[in-house]
Structure 1
Amino acid sequence: MQFATIQPTASRPDLPAITDEEAAALARATVNLFRAWQLTDLEARTLLGDMAQRTWARWKEGSIGRIDRDLRARMAILMGIHKGLRYLFSDPARGYAWIRKPNANFEGHSALDVMMRGEITDLIDLRSWLDAERGAW
């Protein structure tokens, strides 16, 4: 019996894939964002899906290598979080500081505490919360 080959399809064909050039730009922007958020190396690596210490060190030096699909998605979500904060806070410094402040909406935890649980869904949840706060629903 012969079976036809089924071609894989993108999970969201309505959304364009992040190109290699866009991924490299996202990586550079992520390094800059993490500096603004004053993250430790451990915090940064955790938000990037437990990135290897050597890889993170290379990124900080400007040497960006191959970036897989999951990491591209994480960075895109992080940029969405940044965008949401920029909408909510007219003073960028307040938005950068907000991620460490305890928040009653997160049972007294900070947004960073929520993100540091390490799952991509935690990043998605925070981005969705920020979108709802600014009235994007």
Structure 2
Amino acid sequence: MSAAYAYPKSRFEPAALVDLNAKSERERLSRSALKGFFLLADAWNLRDEDARELLGGLSSSAFYEWKKNPDRLLEVDRITRISYLIGIYKALHILYGEKLANEWVGLPNKNAIFSGLSPLAYMQAGGLLAMQVVRKLLDARRGGL
């Protein structure tokens, strides 16, 4: 006799995925993503050079123009970067008090992932994939892993 195993039905409907390839979605999200990024950069006390690097190597002139006027359409890469960074910010504020949450990205880290680098340096060197790794690490810590 074999029993069929199945996951119980969920009471919750999954949220629809956001298609960042759709221009209309990026138009809807870009302004608030940039505003959130600049608030995050201030909270983390990032140097402008570091913030520009996290955005994918944005030029100084474009960075200051974006800061002054966030009404623009972001490319998929940049909006994805900002999404990971905002997720990292949120996870840090769930895990730690405000002071440590805001300093964490700039502190040297002994976790094997970082090899003694700060998470900021790790993300700058590894780009989008490194941001994804940091986000997953913090989400796992939030889940008690």
1:104 aligns with 2:110: yes
Q: Secondary structure at the match of 2:57?
A: coil
Q: What TM-score, normalized to structure 1?
A: 0.82
Q: 1:94 aligned to 95, 100, 108, which one?
A: 100
Offset at residue 64 of structure 1 (A)? 3.3
Give the root-mean-square deviation of aligned CA atoms.
1.7
Deviation, 1:57, is 0.4
Q: Which runs of 5+ in 1 are unaligned?
A: 1-13
Q: Is the 8 A contact 2:55 2:82 kept in 1?
A: yes
Deviation at 1:136, TM superposition (A): 6.7
Give the structure 2 partner of residue 15 of structure 1: 17
Q: Corresponding residue for 2:141? A: 133
Q: Which moves more between the two structures, 97-106 or 62-71?
A: 62-71
SS at match of 2:125: coil
Tell me the distance in 1 between the aligned counterparts of 2:70 and 2:82: 16
Task: Quote how far apart the aligned CAs of 1:133 are.
Answer: 1.4
Give the whole-Å Cα distance in 1 for the aligned partners of 2:32 and 2:74: 11
What fraction of aligned residue pairs are identical, expressed as a percent?
30
State the shift of 1:21 in Å.
Answer: 2.5
TM-score (normalised: structure 2): 0.77
Residues paired across the two proteins, number: 123
CA positional deviation for 1:108: 1.5
Letter in 2 for 1:80: G
Q: Name segments (4+ residues, structure 1) moved above 6 Å.
A: none
| Unmatched tracts of structure 2, length 5 or more | 1-15
Q: For residue 51 of structure 1, report the CA deviation from its aligned partner.
A: 1.1
CA distance in 2, matches of 1:118, 1:60: 24
Does residue 44 of structure 1 match 2:46? no
Aligned mates of 2:87, 2:51 — CA distance in 1: 16
